[in-house]
């Protein structure tokens, strides 16, 4: 019997509107995930659109194999950056 854990440097969630650099937001995600919390990581929308760079400031395992976390916005991508990175993520992760 085993236990599956995913270590993630990408948070892919339903992203709130009107994000602001320096502010904190929360999300909940399914799966036994551990997000890097000492370094900046990528924030993406569910469709792999690159939004910005964040830092996880708190994460908590919930019953049923899900996670609740709080993140701080470090940087938001301009349209050109987002387009380039979105193309890269879709290519790297095989999303079409």
- Domain locations in the chain? 6-12+20-93
Mean per-residue pLDDT, 19-43: 92
What is the percent of the chain with per-residue pLDDT over 90, rounded to a whole number? 69
Confidence band (pLDDT; 50, 70, 90) for 65? confident
Strands (E), the chain: 6-8, 10-13, 24-30, 33-35, 41-45, 50-62, 66-76
pTM (global) more than 0.85: yes
Give pLDDT tens digits for 33-63: 888 888 999 999 999 999 999 999 999 988 7
Confidence band (pLDDT; 50, 70, 90) for 64? confident
What pLDDT does residue 15 have?
95
CATH number of 6-12+20-93: 2.40.240.20
- Using CA atoms, how far residue 57 sits from 9, 17, 26, 35, 40, in Å, is 14, 20, 10, 10, 11
Task: From 96, 94, 89, 91, select the one nearest 43 (Cα to Cα).
Answer: 89
């Amino acid at each position: 019997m085993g236990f599956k854990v995913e270590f993630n440097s990408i948070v892919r969630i339903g992203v709130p509107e009107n994000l602001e650099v320096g502010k904190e937001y929360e999300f909940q995600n399914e799966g036994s995930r551990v997000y890097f919390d000492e370094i900046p990581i990528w924030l993406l929308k569910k469709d792999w659109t690159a939004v910005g760079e964040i830092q996880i400031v708190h994460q908590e395992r919930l019953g049923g194999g899900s996670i609740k976390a709080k993140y701080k916005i470090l940087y938001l991508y301009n349209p050109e950056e987002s387009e380039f990175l979105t193309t890269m993520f879709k290519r790297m992760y095989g999303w079409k």
